[in-house]
Homo-oligomer: A and B are copies of this chain.
Amino acid sequence: MGRASNARQRLMDAVMELIWENSYGAVTIEAICDKAGVKKGSFYYFFDSKSDLAAAALKSSWDDRKPAMDALFSPTTPPLERFLKFFQGVYKRQVEIKRTCGQVLGCPIFTLGSEVCTQDPKLVKTIEQLLKNYIHYFENAIRDAHARKLISAPDAACKARLLFAYFEGALTQARIQNDPGLLKELPQRAMELLGYETRVRAA
């Protein structure tokens, strides 16, 4: 009942895009409203603040992405291939983003987390949860690879942390230097980090 609307979703889409392309602090509520084609009154009808919107948008975009991640890290795929496909996808995606919007944008969760972590405890809690989700995919695949004796990684959690830190570090550096080339080696380096020493065929 009442009036139908997708303004809430449009606001979440807009804020994600604006934060990713710029930064949290540089994005104003007016800019979000303009991009979403929503008046400010409606903004405050749906959300209390930019922080509130950002938290909702992050959760929502994770819900959107989760099925693809579940498919990529499916137990039906050999564990090391999961990583290969994942990192090749990351590279391809960043190349594409640079082509379409002129900038490598990296990982919005990590960049945003690093920006707001000292100022917005509630938002950062959401971010921590999402980052942990990613690490769990990694850890799970590593444990699996170890069990199948493809690699030796008795401490899967540790290896997952290592790989994730490298991954996010490289992605952020690519953003800073606006150079997707830095990510081309991601699949190869990841295999090496995991202790799988064979040559990987080019992406």
Contacts and interface: CB of A to CB of B under 8 A. Distances in A.
Given A128-B176, A176-B131, A193-B193, A23 B118 contact: yes
Given A23-B118, A118-B21, A161-B182, A172 B168 contact: yes
A50 to B, nearest CB: 12
Given A169-B166, A169-B169, A23 B176 contact: no
Report copies per complex.
Answer: 2
Where chain A touches its partner, the secondary structure class is: helix
Contacts of A58: none
B21 A23 contact: no
Interface in A159-199: 161-162, 164-170, 172-173, 175-178, 182, 185, 189, 193
A25 interface: yes
Given A25-B115, A115-B114, A169 B177 contact: no
A23 B169 contact: no
A51 to B, nearest CB: 12
Interface residues of A, number: 42
A124 interface: yes
Given A165-B173, A168-B172, A176-B124, A116 B23 contact: yes
Contact of A114 (B111, B117, B158, B165): B111
A94 interface: no
A149 to B, nearest CB: 20
Q: 3 tightest CB-CB pairs across the interface, nearest first?
A: A25-B25, A169-B169, A165-B169
